[in-house]
Structure 1
Amino acid sequence: MAQDEWSQVDAYLVGKLLPEDEALEAALARNRQEGLPPIDVSPAQGKLLYLLARLVGARNVLEIGTLGGYSTIWLARATPTDGRVVTLEFSPDHAQVARENIAAAGEGSKVDLRVGPALDLLPVLEKEGAVFDFVFVDADKANNQLYLGWALRLARVGAVVVIDNVVRGGRVLDAASADPDIVGTRRMFELASAEKRWNATAIQTVGAKGWDGFAIGIVEKA
Structure 2
Amino acid sequence: MKQLNNYMDEVYYQQDSILEDVLASIAANVMPAISVSPSSGKLLTMLVSITGAKTILEIGALGGYSGICLARGIEGEGSLTSLELEEKYAQLAAKNLAKAGFAEHVTYITGPALVSLDRLVAEERRFDFFFIDADKDNYENYLAYCIKLAKPGALIVTDNVLAAGSVADLTIAPKRYTAIMKQFNVTVANHPQLDSILLPIGDGMTVSKVKK
Normalising by structure 2, report the TM-score: 0.90
Q: 2:187 aligns with which of 185, 191, 194?
A: 191
Partners of 2:211 and 2:8 in 1: how far apart? 36
Q: CA deviation at 1:28?
A: 1.4
Change (3 A) 1:10 1:178: closer
Task: Give 2:102's aligned residue.
Answer: 107
Pairing 1:91-130 to 2, within 5 Å after superposition: 91-130=86-125
Structure 1 residue 128: Cα displacement: 1.6
Name which of 184, 195, 219 aligns with 2:210.
219
Measured in 1, the distance between the counterparts of 2:115 and 2:122 equals 12
Partner of 1:56: 51
> Do the aligned partners of 1:148 and 1:188 also contact (CA within 8 Å) in 2?
no
Aligned partner letter, 1:184: I
Q: Structure 2: which 5+ residue stretches go unaligned?
A: none
Change in 2 beyond 3 A, CA 1:93/1:196 = same
Question: Is the Cα contact below 8 Å between 1:132 and 1:156 reproduced in 2?
Answer: yes
1:148 deviates by: 0.9
Secondary structure of residue in 1 paired with 2:200: strand
> Following superposition of structure 1 onto structure 2, how do residues 202-213 of structure 1 map, counting pairs within 5 Å?
202-205=198-201, 212-213=203-204
Residue type at the aligned position of 2:104: S
Q: Is it true that 1:135 corresponds to 2:134 in the alignment?
A: no
Report 1 or 2 for greater relative contact order, CA contacts < 8 Å, sequence distance ≥ 6. Answer: 1
Question: Does the C-alpha gap of structure 1 residues 12 and 197 become closer, same or farther in structure 2, counting only changes over 3 Å?
Answer: same
Matched, 1:162 2:157: yes
Q: How far, CA to CA, are the matches of 1:148 and 1:159 in structure 2?
A: 12
Q: Deviations over 1:51-70 (max 9, x none)?
A: 00111100000111100011
**Structure 1 consecutive aligned stretches of length 4 or more whose deviation exceeds 3 Å:** 2-6, 177-180
Aligned-partner Cα distance in 1 for 2:166–2:3: 21
- Give, in angstroms, the shift of residue 9 of structure 1: 4.7
What SS does the corresponding residue of 2:82 show, helix, strand or coil? strand
> What do the CA deviations read for 1:145-165 (whole angstroms, capped 9, x no partner)?
111111111111111111111
Q: 1:24 aligns with which of 2, 19, 24?
A: 19
* SS of equivalent residue, structure 1 residue 139: coil
1:46 equivalent in structure 2: 41
- The letter of the residue matching 1:104 is K
Q: What's the offset of the Cα at 1:31?
A: 1.1
Identity in percent: 35
Number of aligned residue pairs: give it. 209
What is the RMSD computed on CA atoms of the aligned residues?
2.1
TM-score normalised according to structure 1 size:
0.86
TM-aligned CA deviation for residue 94 of structure 1: 1.1
Aligned-residue offset at 1:6: 4.4
SS in 2 for 1:99: helix
Deviation of 1:25 after TM superposition, in Å, equals 1.9
* AA at the equivalent of 2:210: V
Structure 1 position 186, deviation (Å): 2.8
- What stretches of structure 1 of length at least 5 have no aligned partner? none
Q: Is the 8 A contact 2:55 2:79 kept in 1?
A: yes
* 3-state SS in 2 of match to 1:172: coil
Shift of 1:92: 1.2
Q: Secondary structure at the match of 1:112?
A: strand
Output the CA distance in 1 between the equivalents of 2:4 and 2:139. Answer: 30
